[in-house]
């Protein structure tokens, strides 16, 4: 009756057997990763809301990915048409309202809708305004709406009713047997203790029933103390009396359940009414559904999430990005997670991805004495982007540190006007033409002969560890005599060991000028060993 009242003439003369629609409004990915039913989403159909003015956001793409993953049929609600410049509220269906708009407002909305269509096309989906669609099984319907003015809401309901009636009728059967549901959230309620918020999608749950639920370890069976439904807002006088106690509930509905031993129940786990006859079967089913279908690696990062579905979604995303995962668990970040992560031999694996969970105080304290990085977010896309950005910077940091282990390519010119000592050691002025020079590095001439070893580097009476391209410095060279091994104007090169040359080529960390110098040194070396550096 409510649907008919809202839709008005849109459903006039049409009969439908759908008993009703249960809407679950949950943020971002949660609607689908938390609500699992035999490996898929509990949602029979979904409404993906897009701000028509701003287009797709990271969480929109995330929800879209999950909808596709679970093969959940959905409709796009292009919201906030009232915010289109020049838009005026007009009664009637979309085509009538559009015709009454100023041409500029009409063009702007159509442009925004085309952008949504284009984005969906890029994601491999065909979409169009619902009025243009003939086959709803092959196209995603877009319904322009305004949650503020109510425009488009009747059409959105009409589309949902039609799709449910047409494509879901066979699967939408009403059962009177023991209730089946999914845990949405586990939370503490004043005066009630630990409770679970659940969606009952099949059967009946009574206040006298026993229920089985999934925990981190194994399924538990507990007695229901109370079935609670929120009171209408206008009836709530005291925050402690926000709920009405009911004797039984029928699918499909949302319900809060108060019971004993709920502390370790996992969000996203199955909830089943148990009897003496089905107990063994139910416990087996819950155990199977709460076991993670995640393949782990011997080495990798640690992932912690708030629900089973979230955990699987994040791990799947990590896999697709080539990220190795050694541990994936539901729950907050604990001290043991930090200790495990810090023990990783690969510094790139000393990271914990924490989705919608807290860092416990002991873990926070442990983090202060380790190099473990924790990424906390409630949007999977952002988590992955942040982690990959950290990986990029960490690799650069590691490469810079590794570079210091090798002799680097450097090319210098002996400035003839700067001879401070002829020998023991020779002290001369040089200009670094390319690359870098460091104390302790041997120097060679263009014929490949070693002329000596740089003992020290100075500039303006200050000692330097190294000198870079463009600098003019004084160097002391042990083993060289000016006028014999070296002469003014000579171009000298750093004598790079063959192993260092190979590593530097593999690492790809040199600048273009450094690469040119390295190639020149390789050319010099191959005058006496044609396979040098290969």
Worst-scoring range by mean pLDDT, 80-84, 252-256, 282-286?
252-256
DSSP for residue 200 = E
CA distances from 440 to 421, 425, 453, 478 (A): 19, 13, 6, 10
pLDDT for res 41 = 58
Alpha-carbon torsion 160, 166, 171, 174, what sign? positive
Q: Average pLDDT of 361-375?
A: 94
Count of CB atoms situated within 10 Å of the CB of 282: 21
On the question of pLDDT at 208 being above 90, the answer is yes
Q: Average pLDDT of 265-273?
A: 87
pLDDT digits (tens, 9 = 90+) for 375-419: 998 877 788 889 999 999 998 888 777 777 788 899 999 999 999
On the question of pLDDT at 76 being above 90, the answer is yes
pLDDT for res 165 = 77
Instruction: Place 169 in a pLDDT band, splitting at 50, 70 and 90.
Output: low
Distance between CA atoms of 308 and 214, rounded to whole angstroms? 10
Count of CB atoms situated within 10 Å of the CB of 386: 16
Whether the CB-CB separation of 251 and 203 falls below 8 Å is answered with: yes
Dihedral Cα 53, 56, 60, 65, nearest 10 deg: 150
CA distances from 46 to 209, 389, 409, 464 (A): 31, 33, 61, 66
Residue 416 CB partners (closer than 8 Å, separation 6+): 487, 488, 489
On the question of pLDDT at 8 being above 50, the answer is yes
Q: Average pLDDT of 345-353?
A: 93
Worst-scoring range by mean pLDDT, 13-22, 174-183, 499-508?
13-22
Is it true that the peptide bond before 290 is cis, omega within 30 degrees of 0?
no
Backbone angles phi and psi of 324, in degrees to 5: -80, 140
Q: Average pLDDT of 236-241?
A: 52
Structure tokens at 408: 């680097």
Distance between CA atoms of 221 and 260, rounded to whole angstroms? 9
Mean pLDDT of the chain: 86
Worst-scoring range by mean pLDDT, 122-136, 172-186, 373-387?
172-186
Q: Average pLDDT of 94-122?
A: 93
pLDDT for res 295 = 80
Q: Average pLDDT of 163-173?
A: 69
Q: Helix axis angle, 380-403 relative to 308-320, nearest 10°?
A: 40
- Better pLDDT: 51 or 20: 51
pLDDT for res 34 = 47
Q: Average pLDDT of 349-361?
A: 93
pLDDT for res 205 = 94
Instruction: Place 14 in a pLDDT band, splitting at 50, 70 and 90.
Output: low
DSSP for residue 134 = S
pLDDT for res 306 = 82
Whether the CB-CB separation of 193 and 217 falls below 8 Å is answered with: no
CA distances from 177 to 171, 194, 205 (A): 16, 27, 9
Q: To the nearest whole percent, how much of the chain has pLDDT over 90?
A: 54
pLDDT for res 30 = 46
Whether the CB-CB separation of 220 and 264 falls below 8 Å is answered with: yes
Q: To the nearest whole percent, how much of the chain has pLDDT over 70?
A: 89
The architecture (CATH level 2) of 180-290 comes to: Beta Barrel (2.40)
Q: Average pLDDT of 160-182?
A: 76
- Listed in sequence order, the DSSP H helices in 468-511 are 498-507
The residues spanned by each domain of the chain are 2-167, 180-290, 301-403, 410-525
**Identical fold between 180-290 and 301-403:** no
Distance between CA atoms of 75 and 95, rounded to whole angstroms? 18
pLDDT for res 313 = 80
On the question of pLDDT at 92 being above 80, the answer is yes
Instruction: Place 360 in a pLDDT band, splitting at 50, 70 and 90.
Output: very high
115 exposure class (CB count in 10 Å sphere: 0-12, 13-18, 19+): middle
Q: Average pLDDT of 236-255?
A: 76
Worst-scoring range by mean pLDDT, 254-258, 342-346, 404-408?
404-408
Q: Average pLDDT of 455-479?
A: 94
Domain 301-403 sits in which CATH superfamily?
Translation initiation factor IF- 2, domain 3 (3.40.50.10050)
Distance between CA atoms of 52 and 81, rounded to whole angstroms? 7
Distance between CA atoms of 26 and 333, rounded to whole angstroms? 24
Q: HSE-up of 256 (CA within 13 Å, CB side)?
A: 17
Class of domain 2-167: alpha beta
Distance between CA atoms of 237 and 416, rounded to whole angstroms? 94
Q: Helix axis angle, 380-403 relative to 58-69, nearest 10°?
A: 110
pLDDT digits (tens, 9 = 90+) for 416-462: 999 999 999 999 999 999 999 999 999 999 999 999 999 999 999 89
Count of CB atoms situated within 10 Å of the CB of 237: 9
How far from the centroid of its chain's Cα atoms is residue 170's Cα?
36
Distance between CA atoms of 486 and 421, rounded to whole angstroms? 12
Q: Could you give the 3-state DSSP secondary structure of residue 158?
A: helix
Structure tokens at 198: 């659940």
**CA nearest 66: which of 36, 93, 27, 29?**
29
Q: Could you give the 3-state DSSP secondary structure of residue 66?
A: helix
On the question of pLDDT at 70 being above 80, the answer is no
Instruction: Place 31 in a pLDDT band, splitting at 50, 70 and 90.
Output: very low
pLDDT for res 109 = 94
Distance between CA atoms of 397 and 137, rounded to whole angstroms? 51
Q: Could you give the 3-state DSSP secondary structure of residue 68?
A: helix
The architecture (CATH level 2) of 410-525 comes to: Beta Barrel (2.40)
Q: Average pLDDT of 468-488?
A: 94
No. of helices (H) and no. of strands (E), the chain: 13, 27
Q: Average pLDDT of 233-250?
A: 70
pLDDT digits (tens, 9 = 90+) for 294-305: 788 889 999 998
pLDDT for res 11 = 66
Can you tell me which residue has the tokens 């907050």? 332
Strand order in the sheet with 325-330: 325-330, 301-305, 351-355, 373-377
């Amino acid at each position: 009756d409510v649907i008919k009242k809202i839709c008005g003439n849109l459903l006039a003369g049409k009969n439908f057997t759908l008993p009703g629609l249960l809407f679950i409004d949950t943020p971002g990915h949660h609607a689908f990763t938390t609500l699992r039913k035999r490996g898929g989403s509990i949602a029979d159909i979904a409404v993906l809301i897009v701000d028509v003015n701003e287009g797709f956001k990271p969480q929109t793409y995330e929800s879209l990915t999950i909808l596709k993953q679970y093969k959940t049929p959905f409709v796009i609600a292009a919201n906030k048409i009232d915010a289109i410049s020049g838009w005026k509220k007009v009664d009637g269906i979309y085509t009538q309202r559009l015709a009454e708009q100023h041409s500029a407002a009409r063009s702007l909305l159509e442009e925004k809708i085309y952008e949504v269509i284009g984005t969906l096309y890029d994601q491999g989906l065909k979409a169009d305004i619902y009025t243009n669609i003939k086959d709803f099984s092959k196209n995603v319907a877009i319904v322009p709406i305004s949650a503020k003015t109510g425009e488009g809401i009747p059409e959105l309901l009409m589309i949902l009713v039609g799709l449910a009636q047409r494509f879901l009728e066979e699967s939408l059967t009403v059962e009177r047997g023991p209730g089946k549901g999914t845990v949405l959230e586990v939370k503490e309620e004043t005066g009630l203790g630990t409770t679970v918020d659940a969606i009952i999608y099949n059967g009946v749950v009574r206040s006298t029933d026993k229920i089985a639920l999934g925990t981190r370890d194994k399924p538990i069976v507990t007695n229901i103390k109370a079935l609670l439904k929120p009171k209408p807002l206008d009836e709530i006088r005291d925050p402690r009396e926000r709920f009405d106690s009911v004797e039984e509930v029928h699918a499909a509905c949302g319900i809060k359940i108060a019971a004993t031993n709920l502390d370790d129940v996992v969000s996203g786990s199955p909830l089943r009414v148990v009897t003496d006859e089905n107990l063994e079967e139910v416990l087996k089913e819950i155990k199977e559904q709460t076991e993670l279908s995640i393949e782990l690696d011997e080495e990798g990062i640690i992932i912690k999430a708030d629900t089973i579905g979230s955990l699987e979604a994040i791990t799947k995303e990590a896999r697709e990005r080539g990220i190795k995962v050694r541990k994936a668990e539901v729950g907050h970040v604990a001290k043991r997670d930090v200790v495990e992560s810090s023990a990783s031999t690969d510094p790139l694996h000393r990271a914990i991805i924490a989705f919608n969970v807290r860092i416990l105080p002991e873990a926070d304290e442990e983090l202060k004495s380790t190099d473990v990085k924790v990424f906390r977010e409630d949007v999977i896309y952002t988590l992955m982007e942040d982690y990959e950005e950290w990986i990029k910077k960490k690799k650069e940091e590691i490469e810079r540190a590794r570079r210091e282990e090798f002799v680097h390519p450097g090319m210098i010119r002996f400035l003839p006007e700067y001879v401070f000592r002829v020998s023991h050691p020779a002290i001369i002025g040089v200009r670094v033409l390319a690359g870098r020079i460091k104390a302790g590095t041997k120097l060679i001439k263009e014929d490949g002969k070693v002329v000596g070893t740089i003992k020290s580097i100075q500039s303006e009476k200050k000692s330097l560890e190294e000198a870079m391209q463009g600098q003019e410095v004084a160097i002391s060279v042990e083993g060289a005599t000016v006028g014999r091994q070296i002469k003014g104007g000579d171009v000298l090169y750093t004598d790079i060991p063959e192993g260092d040359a190979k590593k530097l080529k593999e690492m790809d960390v040199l600048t273009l000028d450094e690469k040119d110098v390295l190639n020149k040194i390789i050319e010099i070396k191959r005058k006496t060993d044609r396979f040098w550096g290969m």
